[in-house]
Amino acid sequence: MLSIIVINTVRVVTSTSRLLPLPALMALALGASAHAAEPAPIPAELQDLPIETIPVVVTGTRGETKQKDAPVAVEVIDRAAIEASGARTAADALQGQLGLRIQTSFRGAGVEVQGLSTKHVLILVDGQRVTGKSDEELDLSRFSADAIERIEIVKGAASALYGSDAIGGVIQIFTRRPPKARPEGHVEIIAGEHGRVVLDGRVGLGGKYLAGALSFGLHRDDPFRLDPSSPSTTGSGTDDVATTLRLDWHPTKKARVDVRVAHLYRELTALDATALPPDLNGNARFRRVDRVDYTHTLDARIAPQVRVGRHLVEAAVGTSQVWSTLLQDQRGGTQYDRRQVSSEQLYTTELKWTYVASDDHTLTAGVDGLYERLVSERLAVETPPDHGRVGVYAQDAWLVFEHPKLTLVPGFRVDLDTQFGEAYAPRLAIRWDPNDQVAVRVGGGLGFRAPGFREQYLLFENPSVGYQVVGNPELQPEHSVSEDASVEWTASAWFSASVGVFRHDIDDLITTDLVDENPTGVDTYSYVNVDSATSQGVEVQLAVKPIATLEVKLGYSFTDSRDDATDLKIVGRATHQGTLNVVGKIALIDLGLQAELVGPRPFEHADGTRYESDLALLVDARLAAHLGEHMSLVAGVDNLADAGDVDTLPLRPRTLYAGLRGTL
């Protein structure tokens, strides 16, 4: 098993000037690497080292990178933090992280990074892309937290390694591995307000060569309504049944095969209500349409890897498939009844090679591909669309100097897409350690995002509330230039701090625009490429351990996201964000607290006039009191400050819950 050292970093970000041209920097780095020393022999004590003992982080370099040498900052939410927070889904676990904003809607919960929208953030599960987006947003609430071992967060351009969608960063979910030896298991039962019911469990059994684990979960919440003047629900009710099976086969110390199969059945229920003229007595009338969305999601992956000397070869084949049925049932009529069935298939493959060429050079190269297809009754074209993409990438982690340490990581990727042709994405990351306490990182790169099927071909009709969205097959890919820099100071084992700056420039930005306004009927929207947009800012974070078992993180970010054509702030983006995260244990109490202060955000009325949302305080807290070696009493509250409104922050009201957790 690849063990991970958690990096507790604090980063700060603000507007900054351009870096040196990337081609020039890469040419300098690659040219100098030609004079590297000859490969050194592998130390005897490392020759028989099993794969699972190497402490690495993965997402920042797409290879095994020692935490203390990582040139790209990787923030990790580990299993202990996930359990302490009481997170039920990946979206809950990411709530309150500095520079991230969980964006909730009737589609679920997506994540914005450094002022960039959810579609500019690549979501991976054990290195695999997943399908099932709605309006190009992947719902993170579909991933049960009970099956998650850790989440790695990389902010900034990552297209040089991962291709399309990684303009704003990568969030990678790692599922829990089976135990190595003795059996393990747990079950947790929760009940709470607003119809909350949670049943999570896991059983696992380890062996010398084969280990397996099964995680399962039942989650339920009622729909909720924040507008008392309308019967419409603000947020959907959810009924989830999730299972994840992990198998790890270790035929030798140097070889491993991982297998993961996950299934989710989900029902989303809601009520759409449209105001009608009052009756003869002046009473309000509404057209009511019940909406139910049934979804089956299947993700599967098999990934063998083998280490031979200084070489590590990894392969993976996977699929992600979604089948959904949307039912709309008008109360007292049939005019707005709808039944829409759709399915998506995504197939992925990867081959990656890592070679420790010398003490100064680690080379990583690979090829990955995907094929995806969409079948839906809501398509605006007769033939179901499909397309494929192949990407080839390479990078060199070059240790230029040992004292003081200077590391350069030039990388390059080219993608060949059956629809959009070629896309190139170079990147350069630099890390300088002037001493043992300070790490300086500078990076930059190009990125791109290909339009999704829904943006191109889907016809989404919602006549009960007066609009439809039509795809645009003429869309072109978005392109970006990103730079970032940060300084981290680890003063001692109990205090660290970081500050950084970032900037993202995006051209051919895809957005939704009104193309046909019909005052008496259904308005039509579509997707268009607009000129450009910029997001830049600063992030600062402090981490303190007042006692060995308690960590407190305090952060602040300033983000300026604007449409370059109008110089107006992008709708829905907060300029200011403050975060507080407390995770730890005091005596027999495990505690977790996530607090986020979100500054005012700009929005637009239907007539185009602008307004700002109120300041919002989001707080989740959880306690677990140990009643013995195998039993805990759990209690918590979501949205303690009861923040939320219909138009700008559709959050579930304050929810108290309690339950029991038992472990083997």
- Mean pLDDT confidence for 462-482: 81
Predicted local distance difference test score (pLDDT) of residue 301: 97
Does the structure show a pLDDT above 70 at 38? no
- 40-84 pLDDT per residue, tens: 344 433 333 343 444 456 788 877 676 667 888 889 898 989 988
- 513-537 pLDDT per residue, tens: 777 766 656 777 788 888 799 999 9
- 304-329 pLDDT per residue, tens: 999 999 999 999 999 999 999 999 99
Does the structure show a pLDDT above 60 at 343? yes
> What is the pLDDT confidence band of residue 472, given thresholds at 50, 70 and 90?
confident
- 214-229 pLDDT per residue, tens: 999 999 999 999 999 9
Predicted local distance difference test score (pLDDT) of residue 565: 86
Predicted local distance difference test score (pLDDT) of residue 526: 83
Predicted local distance difference test score (pLDDT) of residue 346: 96
The closest of 635, 628, 597 to 613, measured between CA atoms, is 597
Q: What is the CATH number of domain 22-663?
A: 2.40.170.20
Predicted local distance difference test score (pLDDT) of residue 53: 40
Per domain, the residue ranges of the chain are 22-663
- Mean pLDDT confidence for 137-153: 90
- 644-661 pLDDT per residue, tens: 999 899 999 999 999 999
Neighbours of 108 (CB within 10 A): 24
Which amino acid type is present at position 664? Answer: L
Phi (first) and psi of residue 405, to 5 degrees: -70, 130
- 473-495 pLDDT per residue, tens: 889 999 999 999 999 999 999 99
Q: How far is CA 9 from CA 97, 253, 557, 579, in A?
A: 12, 32, 14, 14
Does the structure show a pLDDT above 70 at 32? no
Does the structure show a pLDDT above 80 at 440? yes
Predicted local distance difference test score (pLDDT) of residue 494: 94
- 259-298 pLDDT per residue, tens: 999 999 999 999 999 889 998 888 999 999 999 999 999 9
Predicted local distance difference test score (pLDDT) of residue 511: 82
Percent of the chain with pLDDT over 70: 89
Does the structure show a pLDDT above 80 at 467? no
Percent of the chain with pLDDT over 90: 65
Predicted local distance difference test score (pLDDT) of residue 105: 75
Predicted local distance difference test score (pLDDT) of residue 63: 74
Predicted local distance difference test score (pLDDT) of residue 56: 58
Can you tell me the distance from the alpha carbon of 290 to that of 105, in angstroms, rounded to the nearest whole number? 17
> What is the pLDDT confidence band of residue 352, given thresholds at 50, 70 and 90?
very high
Beta-sheet pairing, 616-626 with 631-638: antiparallel
Predicted local distance difference test score (pLDDT) of residue 280: 87
Predicted local distance difference test score (pLDDT) of residue 593: 95
Can you tell me the distance from the alpha carbon of 310 to that of 368, in angstroms, rounded to the nearest whole number? 22
Can you tell me the distance from the alpha carbon of 273 to that of 517, in angstroms, rounded to the nearest whole number? 21
Which amino acid type is present at position 331? Answer: R
Does the structure show a pLDDT above 80 at 146? yes
Which amino acid type is present at position 120? Answer: H
* Interior/surface letters 433-450, b for 16+ CB within 10 angstroms, e for the rest: beeeeebebbbbbbbbbb
Does the structure show a pLDDT above 90 at 36? no
The CB-side HSE value for 526 (13 A sphere, CA atoms) comes to 15
Query: Over the chain, what is the mean pLDDT?
Result: 86
Element spanning 626, H or E: strand 616-626
Q: How far is CA 23 from CA 422, 440, 444, in A?
A: 18, 21, 11
Does the structure show a pLDDT above 50 at 154? yes
- Mean pLDDT confidence for 135-144: 85
Q: CB–CB of 93/87 below 8 Å?
A: yes
Strand locations in 548-613, DSSP E?
Answer: 550-563, 568-569, 576-586, 589-598, 602-604, 610-612
